[in-house]
Structure 1
Amino acid sequence: MSNLLVRVLPPRALKLLASVLPLLFLSGAAHGDVPAPSPFRQAVPGYVYSFPRDFGSRDDFRVEWWYYTGNLEAEGGSRAFGYQLTFFRVALEGAEKTVNPSRWKVDQIYFAHLTLSDLDGGQFHFFERINRKGLGLAGADAGSPRVWNEDWTLDAQGEKHVLKARESGFGLDLELTPLKKPAFHGEDGVSLKGQDAGNASHYFSYTRMRTQGRVLLDGKEHKVRGTSWMDREFSSNQLNGGQAGWDWFSVKLDNGREIMLYQLRLKDGGIDPYSSGSLILEDDSVRRLAREDFSIASAGRWTSKHTGIEYPSGWELDIKNPKVRLVVEPDLKDQELYNLRSISGTYWEGSVSVKGDYAGSAVKGKGYVELVGYGKALKQVLPE
């Protein structure tokens, strides 16, 4: 089901929204071209993180997001759920050149996605919100971990992350506590997506967060507990024009380790050598995984009845050292977000279950998978 909450925006902003997803990740120049100078800061090696600054808004970068997913159970294990709540901020290109004191001006677009996977009921519910920064309808504090899109909110209270979002009888009210230190991906938290300057993001995660609270499903509240994963990224241009999309995996294993993998797919059918990942150990240390250190193989296919798009469904993940072999299965086949107004594309984002072998010992776990760029490749050209 989809309940789309689109606030009144001027035509220029609505035109932008048709291309927001490519804007999140694609550079304005094809691979090998010289990009035009940008007023926005680029993600480059050598960056030094500082907290709480980098948890708060970084509007010196063009794009940023705060992304949460989790695997939850109702009290007594009577029902299982997955959820996603992500807040995005995107700066309009050229807005920084315009002096406009109006509170109605559109220089920043904020949108948010909420999903609930009712695993026992076999239902997937998704919602979105879109707002401008003006009038206080949406925003993110600088230097403070507070983000909102109307009454959908992220607020850090001490070490706890508090998520609240509710819409049409569905929603969540959750308190998340990190069980590990932040994991910095790539080279000291700079995750390279290509060889050109700026084809990167500043990227860190809380890979295991104790989670408790309430889920609202069709008007009925369920007390829940479980674990969550949080991604924080900010950048100005990530991917290049030869990349079609990506497959992203987060896995929380019962041996205290976590795994993040992303596979960048090329338009010619190949896999980009800048695909990479991280293995997070029990002591919070992070082992970087290069493209040659792992493989991802599809074990099945699923075709959406909503869009006709065919997605991989079920995967085999292999890591060379330590030797890890995992089978990943979707908890629901249909966890597709479609007919969205905030982005031009359709994507699959869903709860998964994991089992397999880690260095000779049996393991199992839970996680989330994101599939982007199926059906049509990401666009290359950004809006004016």
Structure 2
Amino acid sequence: MKIKLVALLAALLLTACDQSLPEQKGFAGMGAQAQAFTPVVPGRVFSFPADHGAHDGFRIEWWYVTANLKDQQGNDFGVQWTLFRSALKPEAEQAGWGNQTVWLGHAAVTSSTVHHAAERYARGGVGQAGVRLAPFEAWIDDWIFASEAADPLSDILLRARDKNFAYDLRLTSSRPLVLQGDKGFSQKSEQGQASYYYSQPFFQASGTLQIDGQTYTVSGPAWLDREWSSQPLTANQTGWDWFSLHLDSGEHVMLYRMRQKEGAAYLTGTWIAADGQIQTLRREQISLEPQDTAEVAGRSMPVKWWVRIPDKHLDISVEALNRDAWMDLRIPYWEGPVGIGGSHAGRGYLEMTGY
């Protein structure tokens, strides 16, 4: 689940600097009402490759990739690449400065000792950012996620560059996509907030990574999340903890916990068996508990967790590779690679917002 940070940022970009910001509702304004936009309802039939593209009428959307990488000496790294689309009005894309879409890019690299993050912003309609099909390309400036293949997610390039880092990766997979939740309808609250959500957790990545002038040849598993929605949070929800886990035994796990100002958190996830079979996990099947905290950017962050799914004999610790993986951007949050120990071994990614 990748409910991201675009609503408040759109206001920041397009509101005059002497005007006050709108009151936030939920994390980053994601609980604000959006009646004019297309609602997310059960029963949607997904269509590919069309659904790899943008979805006019919905308020927010993202293309999100993480990769857990190792170099030839066995050192661990993490890479993040995300493109967000935020519609200010529920209307079709148009050329020129009258376009009512804001684009945002986030990119980051993490090692056990270093974390670098960068962001890019763009107004739609002027060629600086966007998503196109046939051939597929998602881009903002020179950050790209692009493929010449008929099935773009079978073989795709991922690139980003900033002053302290760069990466150039090739991602490949021959396995089918995973529709999260109820056939792609991913509920985020008891009140019915939801997104359309699919993933490609089976990517294998390879290429080069540069950090502070040093280049590494790297490879490892990668995970794509695609979501679009119009109101994915309630005003009572303050943030989330999201996990994507690659287990060495071949299974994959996605979990998220939506924290609330009042009441119990909303907790769900997906178990992806080694053969690709999918099972939605209910709250009562999951135990997700912080085990250790660290002071990060002036706040206490849970950087080690116990994750238990008794039905699957999963009883693991999930710990940050670098506890200081703070995304010190316009809207800050924690995101970085994690290691897995206990009943299963593996690697994954953790995102924590609203702390």
Distance 1:320 1:185 in 2: 21
Q: What corresponds to 1:27 in structure 2?
A: 31
Q: What corresponds to 2:163 in structure 1?
A: 168
Q: CA deviation at 1:211?
A: 0.6
8 Å CA contact 2:245, 2:349 repeated in 1: yes
Q: CA deviation at 1:23?
A: 7.9
Q: How does 1:99-110 map to 2 (within 5 A)?
A: 103-110=96-103
Distance 1:316 1:190 in 2: 27
Q: CA deviation at 1:101?
A: 7.5
Which of the residues 222, 226, 236 maps onto 1:228?
222
1:312 matched to 2:302: yes
Distance 1:171 1:287 in 2: 36
8 Å CA contact 2:27, 2:239 repeated in 1: no
**For 1:145-176, what per-residue CA distance to the aligned partner results, in whole angstroms no more than 9, with x for missing partners?**
31110110111232212111111141111111
**Quick one: structure 1 residues 19 and 189, their matched pair in 2 at CA, closer, same or farther if it must change by over 3 Å?**
farther
Distance 1:190 1:144 in 2: 27
Q: What corresponds to 2:274 in structure 1?
A: 282
8 Å CA contact 1:25, 1:237 repeated in 2: no
1:243 matched to 2:229: no
8 Å CA contact 1:83, 1:114 repeated in 2: yes
8 Å CA contact 2:124, 2:130 repeated in 1: yes
Tell me, what secondary structure is at the counterpart of 1:66? strand
Higher mean C-alpha displacement, 216-225 vs 282-291: 216-225
Q: How does 1:261-280 map to 2 (within 5 A)?
A: 261-268=255-262, 270-272=264-266, 275-280=267-272
Q: What corresponds to 2:5 in structure 1?
A: none
Letter in 2 for 1:226: G
Q: What corresponds to 1:48 in structure 2?
A: 45
8 Å CA contact 1:160, 1:176 repeated in 2: yes
Distance 1:63 1:176 in 2: 25
**Quick one: structure 1 residues 196 and 355, their matched pair in 2 at CA, closer, same or farther if it must change by over 3 Å?**
same
Distance 1:16 1:129 in 2: 23
Q: What corresponds to 2:63 in structure 1?
A: 66
8 Å CA contact 1:179, 1:210 repeated in 2: no
Distance 1:19 1:209 in 2: 39
Q: CA deviation at 1:196?
A: 3.9
Distance 1:364 1:334 in 2: 23
1:354 matched to 2:349: no
8 Å CA contact 1:43, 1:200 repeated in 2: yes
Q: What corresponds to 2:87 in structure 1?
A: 91
Q: How does 1:121-140 map to 2 (within 5 A)?
A: 122-140=113-131
Q: What corresponds to 2:325 in structure 1?
A: 335
Q: CA deviation at 1:56?
A: 1.2
Distance 1:91 1:17 in 2: 17
Q: CA deviation at 1:180?
A: 2.9
**Quick one: structure 1 residues 152 and 62, their matched pair in 2 at CA, closer, same or farther if it must change by over 3 Å?**
same
CA RMSD, Structure 1 to Structure 2 (Å) = 2.6
Q: CA deviation at 1:144?
A: 5.8
1:206 matched to 2:210: no
8 Å CA contact 1:24, 1:63 repeated in 2: no
Q: How does 1:253-268 map to 2 (within 5 A)?
A: 253-268=247-262
8 Å CA contact 2:24, 2:32 repeated in 1: no
What are structure 2's unaligned runs of at least 5 residues? Answer: 1-8
Distance 2:278 2:285 in 1: 14
Q: CA deviation at 1:25?
A: 7.1
Distance 1:353 1:203 in 2: 25
What are structure 1's unaligned runs of at least 5 residues? Answer: 1-5, 30-35, 358-362, 375-384
Q: CA deviation at 1:114?
A: 0.6
Letter in 1 for 2:178: A
Distance 1:51 1:13 in 2: 39
1:296 matched to 2:288: yes
Higher relative contact order (CA 8 A, sep 6+): 1
Distance 2:250 2:220 in 1: 14
Q: Runs ≥4 in structure 1, deviation > 2 angstroms?
A: 9-29, 94-97, 142-145, 194-197
Distance 1:10 1:203 in 2: 27
8 Å CA contact 1:141, 1:147 repeated in 2: yes
8 Å CA contact 2:137, 2:147 repeated in 1: yes
* Identity percentage of aligned residues: 35
Letter in 1 for 2:100: D
